């Protein structure tokens, strides 16, 4: 077995989701959003939470003003981010430096230029003045009792361009009192094979080192691990790898790698088991999709589709999984498709609490699944529809309601947008009572959903709490134009549980109705 480095006596997990992560295209965090995310980060157990840049924008200033009253951090320490003073000035009178002090945090992280070309062209000052800016700002804050970290922006590019100057930046920061100096791969172009030599050279100065990697070369996590191997004791990243361009280093992946591969106890086991929940919760607050193929925490991270894999996993789950999903709060999933064999069906049945040990029955279900997949159905993401199919074939499908019929009309008036352009009628029988209800909506599916709820509510009041959270349509045979078969996937939630159903047909409304009615059928059967 290859050896891994020993965990340093002090190791920092530094999260910058609230600042660097918020710079991602499409992410817009309110102050309330940032406060909620900070609580999740604290519950996870990171060492530091970078809250933003006080004085640079009103939202970040408000965040630090509200944090003392509204955040009760038990694990993490809040950090204010800022820059060294302006060229030609003094830290004691610099307004942005004063804003850092006024933020009231014990920890401050300063960004400083470490690439001589950036000093000359971006700051438009001399390399000597840049060093003076670092020394003045760090020493001023340290004299006020602050713990200071220094982010050396563009350090790796600067190291290759002018090694001596990049190292001088570290030396000046350390001598001024910086506790940790962070080497930043700001442009994200580094490769792991080059990381160790640079970090080792910087380590000769004798200050604790950190690393801050972007993912432009696809190597942010690997680069961070290489820096840790070379002695970095502080690593910066964001939850889910949020950040501008291709993002920052994904802290969720790094945490799991350190804990499960290196064997470092960076988090308590019960907190590591909350990793998937934290990832998804923060994604929801940031209004970002869950990345299904994300390592460890993605819904596909432990999903198996091939029948060969399923046969092996039935004997030993470790044969096709690099770690146990429950350690990070995830689950192993069997994807039911035309590639599935009997073993896949049996394992999936076991997960659903349905005994499919009868080989003949499992084989019959497998054949039906493959036939329906050929028609356009997909059960990979529609576990609820798969469970309904299995219940039906095993004689365990309850019928809380019986459909009699439905119809829908849509009226389009040119130049007008109407919230009730569609009208649907649903007729059904529930608990022995026949009901016919009309629903209106801004589209046929919306109208059908409204009519279905009105028809079911007298017998099953809980359906009022069901909410359609996503609706996706895919054309399966595009060459046939408007005669093409379509697949509809509907995500439904009752606020605590979520489930997905599928419908297929050449009529998009018919396919939508199948997925919609199955969604309500499943929710009622499960008692949601």
pLDDT at 14: 98
**Number of helical (H) and strand (E) elements in the chain, helices listed first:** 18, 16
Task: Indicate the pLDDT class of residue 5, thresholds 50, 70 and 90.
Answer: confident
Write the DSSP string, 49-95: EEEE-TTTSHHHHHHHHHHHHH---SS-EEEEEEEPPPTTS-GGG-H
Position 87 pLDDT exceeds 90:
yes
Position 315 pLDDT exceeds 70:
no
pLDDT at 2: 65
pLDDT digit string, tens, across residues 118-173:
999 999 999 999 999 999 999 999 999 999 999 999 999 999 999 999 999 999 99
Task: Indicate the pLDDT class of residue 376, thresholds 50, 70 and 90.
Answer: confident
Q: Report d(CA 67, CA 58) in Å as an integer.
A: 14
- The predicted model gives 26-50 an average pLDDT of 92
Arithmetic mean of pLDDT over the chain: 89
Interstrand relation of 77-83 and 48-52 (parallel, antiparallel or unpaired): parallel
pLDDT digit string, tens, across residues 399-446:
999 999 999 998 876 766 666 789 999 999 999 999 999 999 988 999
CATH 3.30.160.270 boundaries in the chain? 401-525
Q: How many CB atoms lie within 10 A of CB 61?
A: 18
Position 316 pLDDT exceeds 60:
no
Fold of 12-285: TIM Barrel (3.20.20)
- The predicted model gives 25-31 an average pLDDT of 90
194 token code pair: 């080059």
* CATH number among 3.40.50.10300, 3.30.160.270, 3.30.420.10, 3.40.190.10, domain 401-525: 3.30.160.270
Task: Indicate the pLDDT class of residue 370, thresholds 50, 70 and 90.
Answer: confident
- The percent of residues in the chain predicted with pLDDT above 90, rounded, is 65
Across 277-281, 326-330, 382-386, 445-449, the highest mean pLDDT is recorded for: 445-449
193 token code pair: 């094979």
Position 336 pLDDT exceeds 90:
no
Q: Report d(CA 310, CA 333) in Å as an integer.
A: 10
pLDDT at 287: 78
Position 367 pLDDT exceeds 80:
yes
pLDDT at 314: 56
Q: Report d(CA 253, CA 425) in Å as an integer.
A: 49
pLDDT at 177: 97
pLDDT at 334: 62
- The predicted model gives 323-334 an average pLDDT of 79
- The predicted model gives 270-276 an average pLDDT of 89
* Alpha-carbon distance values, 243 to 20, 67, 246, 277 (Å): 6, 23, 7, 20
Task: Indicate the pLDDT class of residue 3, thresholds 50, 70 and 90.
Answer: confident
Q: How many CB atoms lie within 10 A of CB 471?
A: 16
CATH 3.20.20.70 boundaries in the chain? 12-285
pLDDT at 433: 94
**C-beta of residue 80 within 8 angstroms of C-beta of residue 68:** no
Torsion of CA 333, 338, 339, 344, to 10 degrees: 40
- The percent of residues in the chain predicted with pLDDT above 70, rounded, is 91
Position 378 pLDDT exceeds 80:
no
**C-beta of residue 350 within 8 angstroms of C-beta of residue 388:** no
pLDDT digit string, tens, across residues 178-230:
999 999 999 999 999 999 999 999 999 999 999 999 999 999 999 999 999 99
Please tell me what DSSP assigns to residue 122.
I
Q: Report d(CA 513, CA 174) in Å as an integer.
A: 66
pLDDT digit string, tens, across residues 257-266:
999 999 999 9
Position 483 pLDDT exceeds 70:
no
In our burial notation (b when 16+ CB lie closer than 10 A, e otherwise), range 507-525 reads ebbebbbbbbbbbbbbbbb
- The predicted model gives 450-461 an average pLDDT of 96
pLDDT at 519: 96
Residue with tokens 């509200």, as numbered in its chain: 66
pLDDT at 498: 84
Task: Indicate the pLDDT class of residue 342, thresholds 50, 70 and 90.
Answer: low
Torsion of CA 236, 239, 242, 247, to 10 degrees: 50
Position 76 pLDDT exceeds 80:
yes
pLDDT digit string, tens, across residues 510-523:
999 999 999 999 99
pLDDT digit string, tens, across residues 346-358:
767 776 788 888 8
Q: Please choose, from the candidates 433, 477, 486, 487, the residue with its C-alpha nearest in 3D space to the C-alpha of residue 455.
A: 433
């Amino acid at each position: 077995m290859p050896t891994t480095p020993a965990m340093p006596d002090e190791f920092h997990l530094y999260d910058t989701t609230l600042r660097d992560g918020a710079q991602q295209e499409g992410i817009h965090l309110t102050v309330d959003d940032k406060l909620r995310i900070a609580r999740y980060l604290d519950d996870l157990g990171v060492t530091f939470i970078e809250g933003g840049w006080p004085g640079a924008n009103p939202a970040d200033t408000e965040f630090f003003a509200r944090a003392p009253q509204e955040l009760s951090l038990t694990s993490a320490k809040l950090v204010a981010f800022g820059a060294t003073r302006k060229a030609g000035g003094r830290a004691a009178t610099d307004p942005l430096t004063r804003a850092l002090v006024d933020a009231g945090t014990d920890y401050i992280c300063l960004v400083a230029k470490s690439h001589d070309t950036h000093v000359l062209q971006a700051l438009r000052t001399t390399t000597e003045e840049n060093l003076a800016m670092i020394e003045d700002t760090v020493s001023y804050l340290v004299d006020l009792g602050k713990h200071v970290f220094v982010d050396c922006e563009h350090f790796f590019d600067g190291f290759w361009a002018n090694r001596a100057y990049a190292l001088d930046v570290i030396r000046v920061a350390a001598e001024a009192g910086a506790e940790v100096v962070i080497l930043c791969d700001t442009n994200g172009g580094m490769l792991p094979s080059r990381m160790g030599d640079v970090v080792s050279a910087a380590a000769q100065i004798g200050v604790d080192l950190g690393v801050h990697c972007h993912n432009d070369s696809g190597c942010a996590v690997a680069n961070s691990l290489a820096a840790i191997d070379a002695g970095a004791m502080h690593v910066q990243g964001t939850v889910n790898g949020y950040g501008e361009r291709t993002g920052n280093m994904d802290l969720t992946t790094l945490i799991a790698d350190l804990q499960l591969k290196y064997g470092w106890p960076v988090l308590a086991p019960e907190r590591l088991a909350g990793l998937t929940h934290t990832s998804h919760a923060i994604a929801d607050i940031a209004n970002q999709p869950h990345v299904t193929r994300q390592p460890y925490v993605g819904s596909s991270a432990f999903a198996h589709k091939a029948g060969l894999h399923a046969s092996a996993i039935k004997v030993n789950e470790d044969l096709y999984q690099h770690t146990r999903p429950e350690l990070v709060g995830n689950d192993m999933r069997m994807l039911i498709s035309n590639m599935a064999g009997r073993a896949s069906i049996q394992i999936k049945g076991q997960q659903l609490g349905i005994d499919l040990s009868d080989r003949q029955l499992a084989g019959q279900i497998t054949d039906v699944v493959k036939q329906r997949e050929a028609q356009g159905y997909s059960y990979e993401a529609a576990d609820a529809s798969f469970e309904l199919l299995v219940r039906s074939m095993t004689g365990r499908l309850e019928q809380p309601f019986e459909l009699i019929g439905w119809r829908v009309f849509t009226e389009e008036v040119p130049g007008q947008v109407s919230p009730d352009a569609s009208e649907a009628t649903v007729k059904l029988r529930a608990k022995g009572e026949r009901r016919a209800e009309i629903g209106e909506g801004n589209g046929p599916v919306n109208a059908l959903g409204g009519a279905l709820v009105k028809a079911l509510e007298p017998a099953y009041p809980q359906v009022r709490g069901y909410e359609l959270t996503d609706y996706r349509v895919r054309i399966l045979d595009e060459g046939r134009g408007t005669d093409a078969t379509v697949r509809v996937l509907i995500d439904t939630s009752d606020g605590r549980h979520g489930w997905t159903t599928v419908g297929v047909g050449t009529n998009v409304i018919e396919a939508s109705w199948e997925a919609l009615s199955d969604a309500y059928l499943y929710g009622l059967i499960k008692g949601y």
